[in-house]
Amino acid sequence: MANRCQAELIAVGSEILLGQINNSHAQFISNELAKNGLYVYHHGAVGDNEARIRTAFEIASRRSNVVIVTGGLGPTVDDLTKEALAAFLNRPLVLSEAALEHLMQYFAGRQRQMPEENRKQAYCIEGGELIPNENGTAPGQYIYDKGVHFFLLPGPPLEMRPMLRNFVLPRLTEIFGDRQALISRVLHFCGIGESDVDQQIQDLTAGENPTVAPLAGEGEMLLRITATADSEASARAKIAPVEAELRRRFGPYLYGVDDDTLPSVVGRRLTERQETLSVAESCTGGLLASMLTDIPGSSGYFLGGVVAYDNRVKQGLLDVPADVLERDGAVSEATARLMAEGVRRRLSTTYGIGITGIAGPGGGTKDKPVGLVYVGVANEHQTQVYRLQYRVSRAQVRLRTCKQALWRLLGMMD
């Protein structure tokens, strides 16, 4: 383990602890390191308080050999990262002529005098190395001390990201030279429960390389396969047979891999087939249309839809006859069928989806309880209607219904 990267990420900034901003650096840096076979074991965030930042360094240096810190390198009195590390390492801060020169040039290039407070940014921890910042005033710093590699990077993502890619990653690769590639593959399933899958993969989850682990998903099921090897190609070669086995066991439920989502896969399939889609939504109230149109380029296959929250809309824009609404009710197999067929006919699309149900919390009856949903999927030849019964929150009923509808649409395309 001595020569293996055990990285820890520390984000500095009280605005993170107040929930005012999301610490998106943690995900970005972790992902970049993982792609390079470098392991991250801890994430942390701490406020603009010198004692607490110093303690975070103390804890990190006991358990990690790489500490990447973001934020707290600005010119204000609240920016304390450098000061805290200097104190922790018991090293002085010294003026760097190179850093001062960079600052001068930065401001000169903007026809501005350097404000006096920015001079603070030219101070570096003694024995450290500057990390050039092409997009801002704060230089980064690299310091090696008693077995720990510290990298200090500024908070703004447009400054931090190129510094990570141009300096930190090459340096870490150099240090942990016999690097192992760490590759992951995520499989997405729908129509099957997590516990059903879990029971059938215990032989696979017991493995150490590759590992197989379920990930949390709402209305779907994700499995992650992760392998390490001395090259990306051989890591992928380790993943392949496990993926093949999972496809053999759960193939009918697999809808995508890695960054795929149900809306993106539906979009890709429709584009390939040069087919189109329209949707008629009652209880999901526009959520399905919104998920579809989240995808850039969706206008190529998604023509639009009708949010038929009120029965008058189901009649007026979708031609659901009043007597069906009267006899079977708005939440019924017949209404879902007629909504799917109605929107498909009105918008002249290859497929039409119709959704009607009771998302709750109110509106349920004994015969038609909260969580009852009908999903209709229509093409030129047929209409399939699925009856779903959920016992989850309003938001979950809506989201799961939309995913089921897309999953059933994929089924009709097979």
- Closest to its own copies by CB, 298 or 379: 298
258: left (phi over 0), alpha (psi -120 to 50) or beta: left
Contact call for residue 47 and its own copies (CB under 8 A): yes
Q: Which residues pair with 213 in a beta bridge?
A: 224
268 binds its own copies (CB under 8 A): no
Length of the chain: 414
Nearer to its own copies, 91 or 135 (CB): 135
Stretch 73-102 residues interacting with its own copies (CB under 8 A): 74-78
Beta strand 39-46 with 6-12: parallel, antiparallel or unpaired? parallel
In this chain, which of 1, 2, 109, 178 binds its own copies, going by CB under 8 A?
Answer: 109
Other C-beta atoms closer than 10 Å to the C-beta of 108 total 11
Q: Would you say 91 or 286 has its CB closer to its own copies?
A: 286
- Alpha-carbon distance of 169 to 28, in angstroms, equals 13
Binding positions for its own copies, 168-207, rule CB under 8 A: 182, 184, 186, 193-196, 198-199, 205
Ranges within 344-383 binding its own copies (CB under 8 A): 346-348, 360-363
Site string for its own copies, 9-38 (x = CB under 8 A): --x-xxxxxxxxxxxx-xxxxxxxxx----
Distance CA(322)–CA(330), nearest Å, equals 10
Tell me the β-bridge partners of 140: 131
Provide the minimum distance between the beta carbon of 84 and its own copies in the complex, in angstroms, as a whole number.
15
Stretch 204-263 residues interacting with its own copies (CB under 8 A): 205, 213-216, 218, 224, 226
Q: Which of 3, 4, 98, 115 binds its own copies (CB under 8 A)?
A: 115
**DSSP SS3 for 7:** strand
Say whether residue 320 binds its own copies (CB under 8 A). Answer: no
Separation CA 202–CA 350 (nearest Å): 41
Least distance from C-beta 203 to its own copies, angstroms? 12
Quick one: residue 138, left, alpha or beta (phi over 0 = left, psi -120 to 50 = alpha)? beta
Whole-angstrom Cα distance, residue 356 to residue 363?
Answer: 13
Binding mask 142-171 for its own copies (x = CB under 8 A): -------------xxxx---x---------
Please, which of residues 294-313 interact with its own copies by CB under 8 A? 294, 296-299, 302-310, 312-313
> Residue 86 class from Cβ within 10 Å (0-12 exposed, 13-18 middle, 19+ buried)?
buried
Q: What minimum distance in Å lies between the beta carbon of 319 and its own copies?
A: 12
